[in-house]
Structure 1
Amino acid sequence: MSETNILLERDGVRLAVDDTVATVTLCNAAKRNAQSPALWRALTEAGRQLPGQVRVVVLRGEGVSFSAGLDRQAFTSEGFDGEPSFLDLARGPEADLDATVAEYQEAFTWWRRTDLLTVAAVQGHAIGAGFQLALACDLRVCADDVQFAMRETSLGLVPDLTGTKPLVELVGYARALEICVTGRFVHAEEAERTGLANLVVPAAELDAAVADLTAALLAPPRDAVNETKALLRSALSAGAAAQHAAERAAQGRRLRDLAGVGE
């Protein structure tokens, strides 16, 4: 039996690695895994610490909620200990604000690396930043009590943690606009029907369903999986001719590998 190693545990984030599978856990259940700049920095560091043999990363949240979104302390005059509030950032130079938000976004972008497959196990509330973190992953397995919501617009803000593109890709522009502007909850049945959730299961079966999916994702050869992920991601934006050429190039690499060419 392989051994699970804890590589990181700080600021509400735990990274555990068991051979080819890593698990990133939001572990501040008392605050429903509310997010903060410190948590985002820890998530970014988790991505940097992944050993090279890891193929699948599972993202989960402890407790009743995946993540209830941004910790509202960010908007108080005090902010978080040791760093400015978001309001203070807004009063500073525009370039500094842009650079700070770009740093926060790094916690949400590494999940799309083509050498990894990422799975969010989502239960309870996934609101705002929590919704966007689930959207950052390739796949979402959801408990039947899941409640997604994008509340930023209701607060006079916009979703800025890289969630707008995957949301539109999954549900289409019109539905994404309606979800964001109304701030309403998207429950399990709609999430599965519209493609937000790849699978919905009873809450008690969430861990088992994620384990089954992880095993299936690990079954094919890694290089073929990585090439396929890269092709599917480029298909969203590439023209037909460019995509066809990318398919030919990727298949050429796979065939040469299988034939032992270049060894």
Structure 2
Amino acid sequence: MTSLDSAHDFVLDKDGVRLTVENAVATVTLTNPEKRNAQSPALWRALAQAGRSLPGTVRIVVLRGEGKSFSAGLDRQAFTPEGFDGEPSFLDLARGSDAELDAAIAEYQEAFTWWRRSDIITIAAVQGHAIGAGFQLALACDLRVVADDAQFAMRETSLGLVPDLTGTHPLVALVGYARALEICATGRFVHAEEAERTGLANLLVPLAELDDAVRDLAAALLAAPRDAVIETKVLLRGATNRTYDEQRTVERAAQARRLRDLAGLGD
């Protein structure tokens, strides 16, 4: 892939994560292609920091991985007795109290939660493998543009684990319970064509066109006024948890805010 962020201002570059910003578009890049952008607690902390570091002018965040794969998931070093340097191993965490273990997993999840913020739209540009934590990171984003070589898989169950990095909720929302269960329980690969057909992918393009497709999508998303996009995202995010009449009510309230704002009568 060509670089999406060669002309951007650097904001963060640490532990396999680089955040760059150009005007209203930020790019978060996973920068360890030698390991297929395998993930670690240090990388998760850097991702969480990237979310906290976004300037208020940012409207679109693009997530991408350097090299041939988006992210091959959790670095298997996590399952060794030694774990990562300076980090408790997963085995050590398992020996801790319930509260300590819950707090550790909650901290890891922070890397995956901020992508849902109402004031931004997030786009995952996925090529090659997106496995386990990599799959869940792509699912954390609002939209997914995938190259024709993309392969998704949720391998946690085969390791005796569950997907715990916030991926289960969006997966079920996108493909339904039965297909989500089958994908997770079998750990099979979901190839790019199936991803598009089942709603995992918003757009499927040849690998050579991935960057251009993401740029075009970002430009289209920036065309509408920011406040209208924010209100619309909030409406859609909450729609499945509301009744039809409840949704009508919040639509009216949102539209009233927009009309008053357009009339110069907003707060």
TM class, shorter-length = over 0.9
Task: Report if the CA contact (8 A) 2:71-2:130 is conserved.
Answer: yes
Q: Does 1:101 align with 2:110?
A: no
Task: Report if the CA contact (8 A) 2:257-2:266 is conserved.
Answer: no
Alpha-carbon distance, 1:261 to partner: 1.1
Q: Secondary structure at the match of 1:158?
A: coil
Q: Does 1:224 align with 2:210?
A: no
1:202 aligned residue: 206
Letter in 2 for 1:26: L
Q: Distance in 1 between matches of 2:100 and 2:245?
A: 40
Structure 1, unpaired ranges of 5+: none
Within-5 A mapping of 1:169-180: 169-180=173-184
Deviations 1:184-216 (A, max 9, x none): 000011000000000010000000000000000
Q: Distance in 1 between matches of 2:148 and 2:201?
A: 10
Letter in 1 for 2:125: A
2:3 aligned residue: none
Which of 133, 136, 140 is residue 136 of structure 1 equivalent to? 140
1:234 aligned residue: 238
Q: Distance in 2 between matches of 1:98 and 1:78?
A: 21
Deviations 1:17-73 (A, max 9, x none): 001000000000010000000000000000000000000000000000000000011
Q: Secondary structure at the match of 1:82?
A: coil
TM (normalized to structure 1)? Answer: 0.98
Q: Does 1:193 align with 2:197?
A: yes
2:88 aligned residue: 84
Q: Distance in 1 between matches of 2:266 and 2:167?
A: 41
Alpha-carbon distance, 1:241 to partner: 2.2
Letter in 2 for 1:76: T
Q: Superposition RMSD on alpha carbons, in Å?
A: 1.1
Count of matched residue positions in the alignment of Structure 1 and Structure 2:
262
Structure 2, unpaired ranges of 5+: 1-6
Deviations 1:70-99 (A, max 9, x none): 001111000111111011100111110000
Within-5 A mapping of 1:54-73: 54-73=58-77
Q: Secondary structure at the match of 2:212?
A: helix
Q: Does 1:112 align with 2:116?
A: yes
TM (normalized to structure 2)? Answer: 0.97
Within-5 A mapping of 1:15-30: 15-30=19-34
Q: Distance in 2 between matches of 1:262 and 1:19?
A: 26
Q: Distance in 1 between matches of 2:79 and 2:266?
A: 57
Q: Does 1:41 align with 2:8?
A: no
2:4 aligned residue: none
Q: Distance in 1 between matches of 2:243 and 2:10?
A: 43
Alpha-carbon distance, 1:243 to partner: 1.3
1:162 aligned residue: 166
Identity %, equivalent residues = 78
Q: Secondary structure at the match of 1:40?
A: helix
Q: Secondary structure at the match of 1:14?
A: strand
Q: Does 1:122 align with 2:126?
A: yes
Alpha-carbon distance, 1:242 to partner: 1.9
Q: Distance in 1 between matches of 2:217 and 2:241?
A: 27
